[in-house]
Structure 1
Amino acid sequence: MGLMVDTSTIAGLIHARQDDENVGILSADGDLTHSRVVELAAQRGTWLAKNRLPGPFHIAVLSDNSVEYLLWLEAAALVGACVVGANTTHRGDELARDLAHTECQLLITSPSYSPLVAGLDLGPALGTVHEDNQRVLTLGSDGFYENLLPFEGARASDLPSDDISASTLGYLLFTSGTSGAPKAVKCSQGRLAMISGIVAQMYALTPDDVCYAAMPLFHSNALMAGWGPSLAGASAVAVPSTERFSASGFLPDVRRFGVTYFNYVGKPLSYILATAQQDDDAKNTLRQCFGNEAAPDDIDRFAQRFGCAVAEAYGSSEGGANVARTPDSPPGALGRAPEGTLVLDPETGAECPPAQFDESGRLLNAEACIGELVSLSGGQSFEGYWQNEEAMEARLRDGYYWTGDLAYRDEAGFFYFAGRDHDWMRVDGENFAAAPIERILQRHDDIVIAAVYAVPDETVGDQPMTAVEYAKDPKDFNPEAFSEFLSHQEDLGTKWAPKYIRVMSTLPKTATSKVIKKSLRAERWNTPERVWWRPTKDLSYVLLSPEEAVQLNELVQDRVL
C-alpha cells in the first residue's frame, strides 16, 4: 500500500517527498534529490520557528531565482510561515513600504540585493536594516551558515505541523503594479495546493518532468503555474543558469537540464522568438508551455519553432475569475469561462452586447461591447488583500467580483482580452481599449513588443500613443513603411492608428516582462527617443520637433489622464 499524500496543503506535498531519491532541483551548481531538498528545507524551517516573534509569521525573501529561494519556500510551508516575495525591481521607499505593510518579521536576502534595503526602516518587527540586525539573513554570508549549522540534519517529520491546514496563509503576492500601486494578495496553502494539483493534472506532470523556474518566484505565476505544480507532480525544478529569465539562455538551459515544462506570464515568448533562429531549435526536450498574455501569433510561432505545445489561460493573482482556452477558440480569443462570467459596463452594471466583426475581423462595436470582466460568484476563491479594505471594496461590489480587466465576448461565448481598466481611451467621442491595437502592431516583423496607451488630445479626450520595442536600431525606423503596414491591416479600427509612435530599443518592464505603462503615459512625447506623429488624420508620420513638443505640453498642461 502506497504512502498517503496530503494534497490539501503545500506542507503535505513537501512531506511526501521526504524519502524521494529522484532529482528535485537542477542548477548550474549541480543537482539535489527531493529528499535532500526537504532535509535542507527542514533545517531552514527549524531556524524560522526558533526565531518567530509574536504577530503575523511573515518572512520576506529578496532574491533572484536561486536554489536557496526554493529551499526557503519549502521551509516556510513546513512551519506554517507566510512568504512575502519582495519585488526585486522595487527600490527605496517603495520596497520599504512593501515589507513594512506586510508586517514581515524576518528577511532573507541575497548579497546582490542587500544594498537595496540597507538603512531602510522595514517596520516594527524587522526594524532598520544594518549589519548587526539579527532579523536579516544574507544568503551565503558567514552569519548565514553560522545560524543554520545548529539545525543540520533536521527532519521535516520532526517539525510541529498541527497548526498547518488548508486555510494557513502561505503567501502574500504583490500585484505587478504596471498601472497603479501594487497590492498584497492573500493566498493560503490550500488554495495554492488546489491550483497546483489542477495544473499538474492538466499537463500530466510526473517525476519524469523538469519544470523550468524562469519567472520571478515572487510572482503568482511562478508559484501557481510552476513551482506548485512541480510539487503536485513530484517533478524536478530547474533553476535558470543566470537565476533569472534570459531569452538567449532559454534554449541552452532547456537542453542542459532536460526541461520538459515551461510556465510564463507576459512577453517572454516574444523575446525568445526575437533570438536568432537555428535549424535545430526544435531538437530539445520541451513538450509543454503554459502561461498567459502572449500574442496569438507568438503562440503559434513558438510551438512550431520549438516543437512543443503552448497553452494559455486567463487568471489573476486574486483568483476571482478565470477563462480557459479551448481547441475551438478563435485566433486572439482567451477562450471560454465558467457560467456566471460576464462583461459588464462598469458605470451602469448592465451586460455589454456581444462583439460584432466585419468580414475582415475588424471589431465594429468596441464602444458598446468592451466592458469589465466580472464574476457573479463574488470571487469565491478570492481570499482578499492584506490590510487593504479600499482595494477589497473595489474588487467586490454588489456581490460580484470585478477583475479590473477589460474584455469583450463574441456571440459564440468566447472572451477576448482588451487590457486593464487603465487601458481604456476615448478618441473623438469613441471608447476603445489598447489590447486589440497592440495585437495588430505586433504583426509587424520589426516590432518585438508594442505598448498602446492614452495621452491627452490637444483639445478634448485622448489620442492613442504607442511605444514599440524595435528589433533593429531605432534610428532605422521607416515611417513610410510603417504607414504602409497600417494601411494593410484590415481589422484596424478607423480611430485606432497611433497618433504618436515612440521607437525604443527596449521598453520599461517588470521582472516578468510586463510593460510598465504608467511611466510611458507620464512621459508622453517628452522622451530622449525620437517620437513620430500624425499632425493630420491621414496615416503620414513625421518627426515631432522639440518646438512642437513644447506646444503640445502647453495645450494639455491643465489636463490630467
Structure 2
Amino acid sequence: MTPTVTELLLARADDNSCGLRFADRAWSWAEQVRVCAQYASLLRARLRADVPRHVGVLLGNVPEFAFLLGGAALSGAVLVGLNPTRRGAALARDIRLTDCQLIVTDSWHAELLAGLDLESVDVLLVDTPPWSSLLAEHVGSSLDPEPATPDDLLVLVFTSGTGGEPKAVRCTHGKIAFPGRMLADRFALTGDDVVYVSMPLFHSNALMAGWAVGLAAGAAIALRRRFSASGFLPDVRRFGATYANYVGKPLAHILATPSRPDDADNPLRLVYGNEGNERDVARFAERFGCRVVDAFGSTEGGIAVARTPDTPPGALGRLPDGVAVLHPDTGKPCAPAEFSADGQLLNPDEAIGELVNTAGSGWFAGYYNAPEADAERMRDGMYFSGDLAYLDAQGFCHFAGRSADWLRVDGENLGTAPIERILLRHPEILEAAVYGVPDPTVGDQVMAAITANPDFDPTTLGDFLAAQPDLGPKQWPRYIRLAKELPRTATHKILKRQLAAERWQTPDPIWHHANNAYTPLEPRKT
C-alpha cells in the first residue's frame, strides 16, 4: 500500500533518535515533527482557502525547508520549489504560473525578488525578527494533520528547463513517499543510518531519493545548504553519513578534487542517483570505498529503470513491464539493435525510438497549468517520456539521448548519448555534451563541447576516436569545443540548447575535423 508523507511523519512523532542535522545543530525526529506542526499552524493562518494554497520556497537546503515540507504535509498546503538560478522575469513567471500566495525565503535570496511584479504575493524571510515573532505565535501547536491520500498534491517541482521554459511537475504524496520507502527497504536503511542531502531540495531527486528516504527509514537527515565538491568528504565524516544521493555531475566534481590515501576511510556505504557516467561511478566507488547505484528516471516520474547485477556496461537495465521502445513514425515496438563485430549500431533508424509507458502514466501526475504539455506526455492512455533508447538482443535498454537531441546526419537519425559515452572513454576528457549544428546542405553536423585536463592535446583526439570500434563514421564530431566549463542548470544538467545556440560564437577554442585530423578553427560567425 502506498503511504503518504503525512503518515511517514506521524510514524516519527515519538521517535527520540536524531532526525535532522545542519551545521552544528540537531533535532530528534520527535522534535522535528513538533516543529513541522508549528509550521503547519502558521501556514493555515497565513494562506487563504478560496485560492490554491501554494507556498513558494526560495531557500537552500536549510532546516526551514525540511520544516516547511512537513508543515505542508500536515496542513494540506502545496510547496512550490523555486529555482534560485532563475532571474528577473523568468522567476516572476514561475511564481505566477504556480499561483503562489506566499513566498518563504531568506535575506540573501530575497534580493532575487527585488523589483519583480508579484502583485499580492506575501514574502516572509526566515532569518529576520518578524519571522521569529510570527513563528512564536504557533509554538506548541497540536499535531492535527489534514487528511491526505497518496493522490493529493504536495509539491510542485520545476523541470530543469534544458529543453525550454521549465514546467511545474505535480508531485503527490505518493510520488514522494513511495520511492522513499522503496529505497529505504531496498537498501536496508534504518535509524542507525545518516542520509546526506546536498542536492537542492527544490528538485525531485533530493526530495524522493534523499529527504523521503531518510524519513521512511527513520534515519538522520544531514543537510548541506549548497553542494560543495570539496566539502563532500568532510561532511560525510562529520555527520557520519552512510547514504547520499546525487543527480547530474556531482560525482565528477568530487572526483576532480585532489585524492588522498585515506579517502576510503569514511562511513559512506551507498550512493544512489542518476546521470552518472560509468567511468565516474566505478572510480567513485573505488576511491571512497562505497557502492554506487546509478538508476534511470525523470522529474516527471512516468518511467524508471533499475540496474540489476547482470546489466552489461553501458545499459540502463531491463525495462519494467508495460514499458517499451516505440518507433517515432510507426508507433510500434522498435526492432532489436543489431551490431557489427566491432560494436557499431547497424540499424539506428529501426532500433532507436522513444521510451513509452504503454500501461499508463506511472507516477506522472501531470504538469501544473500546462494542458498542452500534459497532452504531449499523455497520448492514447500512454506516457511518452521524451527519452530515446534502443534494446539489445538480450532485452537490455540503452539510453540514446533526449528526443530533442535527435541528430539527422546524412539522412540517418542519431542519438547523442552513445557519442558522449565514447568521448568520455578518453582518459583526459572530463565532461562531454554532444549536440547538432546546421549542416550547410541539409540536416545536422555533430558538435561536442568538452572539458578536459590541462594536459589534453586536441590533435590526438582523432587517433583516439579512430581506435574506438563502435564509433560509426556519421557519429564523428565535426567540431570540438574545448570549454573551461559547461553551462548548467541548478541541478547540474548541461544546457545543450545554449551550446547549440552559441555554435562558434564563443571565446572557447574550436577544433574542426577534416582529413582525419582535428585542427584549430579560425574564429567565425554563425
In the TM superposition, what whole-angstrom CA distance separates every residue of 1:37-63 from its partner, at most 9, and x where no partner exists?
122222222111101112111111001
**Structure 1 residue 477, shift from structure 2 partner:** 4.5
Match of 2:486 in 1: 507
**2:498 is aligned with 1:519:** yes
Correspondences of 1:403-418 after superposition (within 5 Å): 403-418=385-400
CA contact (8 A) 1:419 1:434 kept: yes
| Identity among equivalent pairs (%) | 50
- Give 3-state SS (helix, strand or coil) of 2:517's partner: coil
Match of 2:518 in 1: 541
- Give 3-state SS (helix, strand or coil) of 1:322's partner: coil
Write the letter of the residue equivalent to 2:252: S
Match of 2:115 among 119, 122, 125: 119
**Structure 1 residue 263, shift from structure 2 partner:** 0.9
**2:67 is aligned with 1:71:** yes
**Structure 1 residue 205, shift from structure 2 partner:** 1.4
Match of 1:285 in 2: 267
CA contact (8 A) 1:340 1:376 kept: yes
Write the letter of the residue equivalent to 1:99: I
CA distance in 1, matches of 2:266, 2:86: 35
Write the letter of the residue equivalent to 2:179: I
**Structure 1 residue 7, shift from structure 2 partner:** 6.9
CA contact (8 A) 1:470 1:506 kept: no
Match of 1:270 among 234, 252, 266: 252
**2:479 is aligned with 1:492:** no
Match of 1:129 in 2: none
Match of 2:298 in 1: 316
CA distance in 2, matches of 1:264, 1:361: 31
**Structure 1 residue 160, shift from structure 2 partner:** 4.3
Write the letter of the residue equivalent to 2:117: D
Match of 1:442 among 413, 424, 428: 424
CA distance in 2, matches of 1:268, 1:358: 35
- Give 3-state SS (helix, strand or coil) of 2:469's partner: coil
**Structure 1 residue 292, shift from structure 2 partner:** 1.0
CA distance in 1, matches of 2:165, 2:516: 36
CA distance in 2, matches of 1:57, 1:92: 24
Match of 2:335 in 1: 353
CA contact (8 A) 1:471 1:505 kept: no
Structure 2 residues without counterparts, runs of 5 or longer? none
Match of 1:50 among 45, 51, 57: 45
Q: Given the two structures, how large is their TM-score scaled by the length of structure 2?
A: 0.97
CA distance in 2, matches of 1:518, 1:139: 36
CA contact (8 A) 1:271 1:448 kept: no
**Structure 1 residue 227, shift from structure 2 partner:** 0.6
CA distance in 1, matches of 2:4, 2:491: 26
CA distance in 2, matches of 1:315, 1:148: 38
CA contact (8 A) 1:343 1:352 kept: yes
CA distance in 2, matches of 1:381, 1:25: 28
CA distance in 1, matches of 2:459, 2:2: 59
**2:362 is aligned with 1:367:** no
**Structure 1 residue 471, shift from structure 2 partner:** 2.9
In the TM superposition, what whole-angstrom CA distance separates every residue of 1:45-93 from its partner, at most 9, and x where no partner exists?
2111101112111111001111221111111111111110001111111
Correspondences of 1:63-462 after superposition (within 5 Å): 63-122=59-118, 125-126=120-121, 135-155=122-142, 157=143, 159-161=144-146, 163-240=147-224, 243-462=225-444
- Give 3-state SS (helix, strand or coil) of 1:468's partner: strand
CA distance in 2, matches of 1:461, 1:249: 45
CA distance in 2, matches of 1:296, 1:290: 13
In the TM superposition, what whole-angstrom CA distance separates every residue of 1:502-524 from its partner, at most 9, and x where no partner exists?
11111111112110111111101
Q: How many aligned positions are there?
A: 525
Write the letter of the residue equivalent to 1:202: R
CA contact (8 A) 1:437 1:496 kept: yes
CA distance in 2, matches of 1:539, 1:19: 69
CA distance in 1, matches of 2:466, 2:234: 40
- Give 3-state SS (helix, strand or coil) of 2:318's partner: coil
Match of 1:36 in 2: 31
Match of 1:463 in 2: 445
